[in-house]
């Protein structure tokens, strides 16, 4: 957009000011507006105005706002967010804010004129930019000026923080503070400022001016020889680029998985290797690993074979009990029989707990009644095209129902959450025994129970790590998704939640899961499966000109159209591990390096990765235990949410 003496280079709506410091914002305390970056009279300005004043760019008044009133709306209290799923998985609303707290009522009279909140500031007057904490339902930015005052915090209810920061990096050098990973120091693009920034950041022990001189002559060698850590912002700003070319190094994601979690996204990866998959493990091959007392021998070799080829259908019923931890790899046949007898008795004692509840008692037990209703609804539509579950009076449906209700007795805190029936269905189909299927299901839930917790921290952490992997593997695709407000990868939510159960045909799901359960070649292989799917769809997404809605629609339409044989997750893993300059944070995700110590003492700052070889940490008990069991009953919202990426 251009006018007399100015040009709008960036514009984003849905940017709110929160004028109240309360945790739960009133509608009157939310002021919707538009943020713009404008080139005007040889200067570049950042301007925010309320929606009723932002329509005509020619009327923008570029006047400074007194910083004394800028702190009134900068609240770092966490807003609420909706932790639910849409019933038919069409739109994922889990990481999006509730709309009733985000849209002000038309005609409502605010406590002060909304126009008084408008502000504009020259980019040269900015001193630093602070990003929001990970885990908030929407991201915000706090801008601090050279005078030391803070402008009103900008809350991006519809996403766009990454896009704004990427535009600002065209005009400014944004350097991550070594003391605070959420704080970015702002410097202009000139060598004297570079020298000062090196001095303030204490990145070099030698004379900064000499470093700057060498840097401008040879940026790459100087960077790698002198920097201990290089952030996306710093490298993206300093790397020479053709005029008008978009940077392929956007800022880090808003929902950063860990403080100080940095990635060098321009790593030179080698060629992607060709991987030859082996044949499935047969019953005869399995039998060769069984010793005289029924104890399995050469277990690592057997797991490698399962990883490379999967299992033959006739072997799954026995082998899955080992892969899911129901039976011990080291146990003898007699020990396994004793274990099964013990677990059978334990299962039926738990089942009796809910079976013995009379209808009159259940009317006074809203929790159990809610679980039963939710389970009956989900079971009635789980894999009904599969012969094992088709028909109105199918006994398989009754077993699904009984196992899921018994799981509510086994795990009171978690209970039942939509999606669990999708995880149980293939297990019951393979095991075909109620007790054994229950305990195998419990083993699977030990791996993925964090996916179903109300806080959704595990899911957001996985999406953040998926973004890091994709950034290294395909930065151009990441940039495209960012440009379409899809950089949060929320369209991958269902993939990770139920381990691609809805994406592949049923036989492919069985093969994929047993490979992932081996824990080989390292943790988080399921994230590389997601990267491999996006790699397969790369050209379709980028060459079709899809917007965010079309991207979501296209991803949802992949259901049952993918083949597990075409997903080259192992090839991606080998390509990454062969890279000698693989960033440390990516090594952590792949299990190639131990996790670094968190920079913050916050207990949620450095969570353990969810993987087939590590059980997610048990969260501390809530302070209000009386209300905790009801959380699973609020998972399914009645009305659709218009969310925003974080």
* Chain mean position to CA 568: 21
Domain 457-590 has CATH 3.20.20.100: no
CB 450 within 8 A of CB 508: no
Q: Alpha-carbon distance 372 to 401, whole Å?
A: 8
Q: What integer pLDDT is reported at residue 636 of this predicted model?
A: 32
Q: Alpha-carbon distance 165 to 292, whole Å?
A: 65
Per-residue 3-state assignment (H helix, E strand, C coil) for 61-129: CCCCCCHHHCCCCCCCCCCCCECCCCCCCCCCCCCECCHHHCCCCCCCCCCCCHHHHCEEEEHHHEEEE
Q: Where are the domains of the chain?
A: 1-18+30-54+118-188, 283-451, 457-590
Q: What integer pLDDT is reported at residue 285 of this predicted model?
A: 97
Q: What integer pLDDT is reported at residue 29 of this predicted model?
A: 74
Q: What integer pLDDT is reported at residue 134 of this predicted model?
A: 66
Question: Minimal CA–CA distance to 54: which of 14, 7, 107?
Answer: 14
Domain 283-451 has CATH 1.10.8.270: yes
393 Cβ contact list (under 8 Å, min separation 6) = none
Q: What integer pLDDT is reported at residue 597 of this predicted model?
A: 62
| Four-residue CA torsion sign, 546, 549, 552, 554 | negative
Q: What integer pLDDT is reported at residue 162 of this predicted model?
A: 86
Angle at 614 between CA 504 and CA 138, to 5 degrees: 70
Q: Alpha-carbon distance 491 to 548, whole Å?
A: 10
Per-residue 3-state assignment (H helix, E strand, C coil) for 432-444: CCHHHHHHHHHHH
Residue range 1-18+30-54+118-188, CATH number: 2.30.29.230
CB 18 within 8 A of CB 67: no
Q: Alpha-carbon distance 146 to 129, whole Å?
A: 11
Q: For residue range 225-266, what is the model confidence (pLDDT) as tens digits?
A: 443 333 333 333 334 444 444 444 444 444 443 333 344 446
Q: What integer pLDDT is reported at residue 173 of this predicted model?
A: 85
Tokens, residue 283: 């019953």
Per-residue 3-state assignment (H helix, E strand, C coil) for 364-379: CCHHHHHHHHHHHHHH
pLDDT less than 50: residues of the chain: 23-24, 54-112, 191-265, 599-646
CB 410 within 8 A of CB 354: no
Q: What integer pLDDT is reported at residue 27 of this predicted model?
A: 64
1-18+30-54+118-188 shares its CATH topology with 457-590 = no
Question: Minimal CA–CA distance to 174: which of 151, 141, 147?
Answer: 141
DSSP label at residue 296: B
């Amino acid at each position: 957009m251009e006018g007399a003496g100015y040009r709008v280079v960036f514009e984003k709506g849905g940017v709110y000011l929160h004028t109240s410091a309360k945790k739960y914002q009133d509608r009157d305390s939310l002021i919707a507006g538009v943020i713009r970056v404008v080139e005007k009279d040889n200067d570049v300005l950042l301007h925010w105005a309320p929606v009723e004043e932002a329509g005509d760019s020619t009327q923008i008044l570029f006047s400074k706002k007194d910083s004394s009133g800028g702190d009134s709306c900068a609240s770092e209290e966490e807003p609420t967010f909706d932790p639910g799923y849409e019933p038919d998985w069409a739109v994922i609303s889990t990481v999006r804010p509730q709309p009733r707290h985000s849209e002000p009522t038309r005609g409502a009279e605010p406590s002060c004129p909304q126009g008084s909140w408008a502000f504009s500031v020259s980019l040269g007057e900015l001193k630093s930019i602070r990003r929001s904490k990970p885990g908030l339902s929407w991201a915000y930015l706090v801008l601090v000026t050279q005078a030391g005052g803070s402008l009103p915090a900008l809350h991006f209810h519809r996403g766009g923080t990454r896009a704004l920061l990427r535009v600002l990096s065209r005009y400014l050098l944004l350097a991550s503070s070594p003391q605070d990973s959420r704080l970015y120091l702002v410097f202009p693009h000139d060598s004297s400022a570079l020298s000062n920034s090196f001095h303030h950041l204490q990145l070099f022990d030698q004379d900064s001016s000499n470093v700057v001189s060498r840097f401008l002559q040879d940026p790459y060698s100087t960077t790698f020889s002198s920097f201990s850590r290089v952030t996306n912002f710093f490298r993206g700003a300093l790397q020479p680029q053709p005029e008008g070319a978009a940077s392929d190094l956007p800022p880090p994601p808003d929902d950063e998985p860990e403080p100080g979690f940095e990635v060098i996204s321009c790593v030179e990866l080698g060629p992607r290797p060709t991987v030859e998959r082996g044949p499935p493990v047969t019953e005869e091959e399995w039998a060769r690993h069984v010793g005289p007392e029924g104890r399995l021998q050469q277990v690592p070799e057997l797991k490698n074979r399962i990883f490379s080829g999967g299992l033959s259908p006739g072997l799954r019923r026995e082998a899955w009990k080992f892969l899911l931890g129901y039976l011990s790899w080291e146990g003898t046949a007699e020990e396994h029989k004793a274990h099964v007898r013990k677990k059978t008795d334990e299962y039926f004692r738990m089942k009796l707990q809910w079976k013995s509840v009379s209808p009159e008692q259940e009317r006074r037990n809203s929790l159990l009644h809610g679980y039963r209703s939710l389970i009956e609804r989900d079971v009635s539509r789980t894999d009904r095209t599969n012969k094992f579950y088709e028909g109105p009076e199918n006994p398989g449906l009754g077993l699904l129902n009984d196992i899921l209700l018994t799981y509510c007795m086994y795990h009171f805190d978690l209970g039942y959450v939509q999606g669990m029936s999708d995880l149980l269905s293939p297990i019951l189909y393979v095991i075909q025994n109620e007790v054994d299927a229950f305990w195998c299901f419990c083993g699977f839930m030990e791996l993925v129970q964090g996916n179903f917790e109300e806080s959704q921290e595990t899911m957001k952490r996985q999406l953040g790590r998926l973004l890091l992997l994709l950034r290294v593997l395909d930065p151009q695709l990441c940039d495209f998704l960012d440009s379409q407000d899809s950089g949060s990868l929320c369209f991958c939510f269902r993939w990770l939640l139920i381990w691609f159960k809805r994406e592949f045909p049923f036989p492919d799901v069985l093969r994929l899961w047993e490979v992932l359960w081996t824990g080989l070649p390292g943790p988080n292989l399921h994230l590389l499966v997601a990267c491999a799917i996006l790699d397969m769809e790369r050209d379709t997404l980028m060459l079709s000109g899809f917007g965010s809605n079309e991207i979501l629609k296209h991803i949802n339409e992949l259901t049952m159209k993918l083949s597990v044989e075409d997903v080259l997750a192992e090839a991606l893993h080998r390509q990454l591990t062969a890279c000698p300059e693989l960033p440390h944070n990516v090594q952590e995700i792949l299990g190639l390096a131990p996790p670094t110590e968190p920079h913050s003492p916050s207990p949620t700052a450095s969570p353990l990765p969810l993987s087939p070889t590590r059980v997610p940490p048990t969260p501390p008990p809530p302070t209000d235990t009386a209300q905790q069991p009801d959380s699973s009953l609020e998972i399914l919202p009645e009305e659709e949410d218009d969310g925003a990426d974080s």
